[in-house]
Amino acid sequence: MNIILLGPPGAGKGTQARKLVDERNMVQLSTGDMLRAARTSGTEMGQKVAAVMDAGNLVTDEIVIGLIREQLEADNGADGYIFDGFPRTLAQADALGELLADMGENLDRVIEMQVDDDALVARITARSTCGDCGEVYNDNTKPWPADGKCSNCGSTDQTRRADDNEDSLRTRLLAYYKQTSPLVGYYYAKDDLASVDGLASMDDVAQSISSALSNS
């Protein structure tokens, strides 16, 4: 099963992707992770990525699609893929659809994680993560453990993103709505879209996603 997680910054896509990886043996294809891994891989594609990023330029859609193709061609025994952070635009959605068709794969479901902007800003400005394993914490709903150690891996490296402040968040939200929100209508028209309440509890969101995938 191949799915896309759609939603603005901080909607919880990464958290839900990790749940799907653990529970369904899927592979999370995060654009950022793929680019960082490629940059240090030494492969021909990796050298292209490094050259573009070192020059301070944006990585082209063609390169990202190439990285995704490499991942899909790898024999990793996965039971499907989660596209996280891609596609971001209608052109990228078309390119991904063409790639999947070329490889004999299908896009089974697109999950839109709906949120209220004000509530999202309140959530994200309270967010921190473990610098080692990526476990997500929230000052209000899931505080960093009192003993100073991550409950998942025991690390003491608590980090906060520099742009997790209200002004930066609203700028990122504006960019999302301008570039990425048209994908909601795009996938709705293809009858691939399912929407869930992204501000519900993590377990409730996971259950809603599971139900949407079962009905795909």
User: Where in the sequence numbering do the catalytic residues fall?
Assistant: 13, 88, 127, 161, 172
**Is the CB of residue 67 less than 8 Å from the CB of residue 35?**
yes
DSSP result, the chain: -EEEEE--TTSSHHHHHHHHHHHH--EEEEHHHHHHHHHTT-SHHHHHHHHHHHTTPPPPHHHHHHHHHHHHHS----S-EEEES---SHHHHHHHHHHHHHTT----EEEEEE--HHHHHHHHTTEEEETTT--EEETTTBPPPTTSS-TTT----EE--TT-SHHHHHHHHHHHHHHTTHHHHHHHHTT-EEEEETTS-HHHHHHHHHHHHHT-
Picking from 89, 76, 51, 42, the residue whose alpha carbon sits closest to that of residue 65 is 89
